[in-house]
Structure formats: C-alpha cells, structure tokens
Structure 1
Amino acid sequence: MLDTTYNVETPEGIDLRAQAAGPVPRVLAYAVDVFYRTLILAALGIALAFADRAGMGIWLLCSFLLEWFYPVFFEVMRGGQTPGKKAFGLMVVNDNLTPVSWGASLLRNLLRFADFLPFAYATGVISMTLSRHFQRLGDFAAGTMVVYRQAEKTATSLPEIAPLAPPRGLQLQDQQALISLAERHEALSEARQRELANLLEPITGKKDGAALDYLRSVGNWLLGK
C-alpha cells in the first residue's frame, strides 16, 4: 500500500515523522506562486512604463530575481513555505527534517532548469512520481524534500496502559524521570525506550517490553491517569 510517511531517528533516539507531499499539491502550490509573481511583474510593468529603456531594464532585473530568488527567500525566512506552499499546507525541509538552509534552498531552486526539461517541468514531475518520497532532481541534489506542515500538538497523550503505584521510597528525581518517560513516549523510539528501561533491570527485575510496560504504568500513576 502507498505510505507517504517519512521517518528519521535522531542520535538521541527521538523519532521524527512527516508526510511527504506528492506531485499534485506541489504543482498546485507552484501555480499559486506563479500567479503571485505574475501579479507583481504586471504591477511593476505598469509602474515602470514611463521609464522607457531604463524601466525595461529594471523590470527584467526584477523578473530574474523573482524567478530564482523568490522561493529561496520564503523557504528560508518563512519556515520553508512560499505563499503557494502555505496555501496548501506544505513546507520544504532538509531530508533529516531540519529547517532548510540557504545553501540547500538555493541549490534546489537553481536546479529547477533541469527539472523543467524538456518542457513544462516534465522531468521534475516524472522524478517526483517515481521517487519514494516524491523528490525532484533539485531535491536529490540539495538533500531536501517537501512535506505537509503538521499542526502543533496542544496536549501530551499518555501511554495506553493501566496505572500502577510505584514502590515505596522512590526518590523525587526518579519520579521525574518516570514522568518524563511517560510524557515523551511518542517522541522517543521504541528501541530507545527499551534501552532506557533495561538500565533499571537491577531495580525492577524486568527487561525489554516487560520493563518498559512497568515503567509506563508507574509513570501514568504519578501523572494521575
């Protein structure tokens, strides 16, 4: 089955997830950006009509800057979103899901000429369609991708496991550690959580999944679930 989920695990064991954006919303977002750029150039053309050749030179310079640096400015300075991408809830990120940098954004946009070949961005659309995470040639070269911007979570969900009272004499710092583990269960990878749980095997007498379930139960109890 088609799965657009993109996963990255950080060195700290935190799972980062995003949904890769396919060709259709990206083409629509690009069309919106072209519309905005056309409006800007039309307004400039009217404003510079009186300047004759000098006005034409300024208009051509602005046209060049808009074509190549309009997306770079918005992707870096506006959270990876041009106005078109923002309209469709998309954003450009590095392939490790960190914010896109100036160099990466500049490279992916300068290589649009290759994606344009032979006409109408045919190569870019074919590349997006055939690649696992809908990356065009510019994305492959720059190490970037386009994903859906996720809404920020307003509440932290707790593990779905019955609460269990902790053993007597549990120190405050130990309680804080268990609470942190329960609250971050969706952010930390399962392997990392089991690794942390195994460190307490001398105390809990449990290992792997059993140890993790026990610590989650105590964490839920401490949080009043």
Structure 2
Amino acid sequence: MTQISINTTQNVNIVFTAASVGDRILANIVDWLIKIAYFVVLFFMIFRWTGLLDAINKMDDWSGGAIIMIFMLPVAFYTLIFESWLEGQTWGKRLMKIKVVKIDGYQASFPEYLIRWFFRLVDLMIFNGLIAVISVSTSSRSQRLGDMAAGTSVITLKNKINISHTILEEIGTEYVPIYPLVIKLSDNDVRIIKETFNNAVARNDYDTVRKLVDKVEKVTGIRNQSGNHHDFIRTVIKDYNFYTRGA
C-alpha cells in the first residue's frame, strides 16, 4: 500500500497508509446499497402506503417534480452530510475502516468535504468512476481530483495499532479535567500534538512547544490557565483521554 508522508506545521514527519483503491470502491458500494435501501423504503413505505405517489401523479409536473427532488436531497448530499458528521467517514468508509484527512495531518473540516463532494461529479459520475480510479492509482498520495482540490487524502485505519492507541495517557480515577473544549479535537489531532510535543521536549525545542500551544488554543478556543506550556499540553492530552476513554 502507498505510504503518505505528512510533514506537520511543527516539522514532525508522520506516515500514514493510504486506503487502497479496492477499499475505496467497496466503501462506495456500501454507500450505494444504503442509498438504494433508502429508495426502497421511500417508494414502498412512504409514497405507496401513504398515498403520496397518487397525490404527486395528480399534480402538475413542476409541483410533483419539486416534491420528488426534496425527497432526493438526502441521496444527493449523503456523502457531504456523513463525512461532516462522522469526521471524514461515510457508513461505507467506517465499515471499511478508512477515513478522509487533510494532507497536513489534521482533521478535515466542512470546506474540504464540500470540495470533495462537488468534485464527485467529475471523479465518480463521469465514465462510471474511471477518472477517480486512474487518479487514485497514479497519484503519489492516492488522491482523486476532489482530494487534490481539497488538500485531503483517504487513509486506512486498519493498522495493527489503531490511531487512538498512540494517544493513551495514564489518568487516575480521581483525575479532574480542566479543559472540556478538548473534545473539539480528534484522535488524529491529539496524536499529532502528542508526537510533536514529545519530539520537541526531547530536543529541548521550546519554540516548537510554544507554537504548538498557540495552535491548540486557536483550534479549540482554550486558553492556557497554567502559565506553563509543557503543563498545558500534558493537561490537554490527559483531558482528551478523560472525555473520550468511554467513547
């Protein structure tokens, strides 16, 4: 599988494994099966059983078409909705254990998901997805055109050591968290924070630690209450573990 080397803004190199073309195709098939199931439920349980289909047939073309279009919106926006809600995953991606991330290693956000969704018209709808297959197979970061435009890639989470395993921190049962806003971070964010921090401490690189604190404060809205950069980062990591360990 293709290895994606990401150099973070703190100059820490992190390597991810790109999702294979096969996994991405299978995830897309699962998503389409979900969409088909929606169509079946929509037609038999809503349109026919409620008599809505007969009512639509009695309407003029514009009115009937407008109602049908409204019911089609969940299918049209399926990928955008679920990638935004599930932090880079649709149900198909979750089943195949693959995920969309930014190429700087941080969690992708709605603008990136929107760009990827828009480019689906080119990547997947034209030539039955052949453009996407060729692009993913030939690009250095296994990106389709939508990924290139959005600055994202799709990685696999099937490693023997899951991303969340690298962020575990020992906290006692009496531990009291300080920063509840750490839940704005993802496992991937905290992994990068922890690796960057540990590398910086090992090199006595205080400037990188300071930049890391600034980045965490900017992303989460947290303000360092300890006055000590090292203690702040350690607390952020512990608080994240506290709030997510039961998730």
What amino acid does structure 2 have at the position aligned with 1:10? T
Q: Give the alignment's TM-score, normalised by structure 2.
A: 0.59
2:108 match: secondary structure:
coil
8 Å CA contact 2:82, 2:89 repeated in 1? yes
What amino acid does structure 1 have at the position aligned with 2:67? I
* Structure 2 spans left out of the alignment, 5+ residues: 170-191, 206-247
Residue 18 (structure 1) shift:
2.0
Which among 117, 122, 130 is matched to residue 130 of structure 2? 122
8 Å CA contact 2:6, 2:103 repeated in 1? no
Which residue in 2 is equivalent to 1:152?
164
Q: Tell me how large the CA RMSD over aligned residues is.
A: 3.1
Describe how 1:54-203 pairs up with structure 2 within 5 A. Answer: 57-63=66-72, 65-116=73-124, 118-149=126-157, 150-153=162-165, 187-188=195-196, 192=200, 195-196=203-204
8 Å CA contact 1:108, 1:141 repeated in 2? yes
2:5 match: secondary structure:
strand
Rounded Cα–Cα distance in structure 1 between residues aligned with 2:197 and 2:134: 34
- Are 1:9 and 2:21 counterparts? no
What amino acid does structure 1 have at the position aligned with 2:164? E
Going from structure 1 to structure 2, the CA distance change for 1:68 and 1:142 (only over 3 Å counts) comes to farther
What amino acid does structure 2 have at the position aligned with 1:87? L
What amino acid does structure 1 have at the position aligned with 2:7? V
8 Å CA contact 1:20, 1:146 repeated in 2? yes
2:195 match: secondary structure:
coil
Going from structure 1 to structure 2, the CA distance change for 1:134 and 1:26 (only over 3 Å counts) comes to same
Rounded Cα–Cα distance in structure 1 between residues aligned with 2:66 and 2:201: 61
- The range that moved more, 147-156 or 38-47, is 147-156
Q: Give the alignment's TM-score, normalised by structure 1.
A: 0.64
Q: Deviations over 1:58-115 (max 9, x none)?
A: 343322x233321111111112111000001011112212122111101111111111
8 Å CA contact 1:95, 1:143 repeated in 2? yes
Rounded Cα–Cα distance in structure 2 between residues aligned with 1:193 and 1:129: 39
Rounded Cα–Cα distance in structure 1 between residues aligned with 2:98 and 2:76: 19
What amino acid does structure 2 have at the position aligned with 1:187? E
Going from structure 1 to structure 2, the CA distance change for 1:127 and 1:146 (only over 3 Å counts) comes to same
1:6 match: secondary structure:
strand
Rounded Cα–Cα distance in structure 2 between residues aligned with 1:188 and 1:93: 18
Rounded Cα–Cα distance in structure 1 between residues aligned with 2:115 and 2:79: 11
Rounded Cα–Cα distance in structure 2 between residues aligned with 1:101 and 1:142: 10
What amino acid does structure 2 have at the position aligned with 1:60? M
8 Å CA contact 1:117, 1:123 repeated in 2? no
8 Å CA contact 2:102, 2:108 repeated in 1? yes
Residue 25 (structure 1) shift:
0.2
Rounded Cα–Cα distance in structure 2 between residues aligned with 1:116 and 1:5: 23
8 Å CA contact 1:25, 1:88 repeated in 2? yes
Going from structure 1 to structure 2, the CA distance change for 1:15 and 1:42 (only over 3 Å counts) comes to same
- Are 1:19 and 2:28 counterparts? no
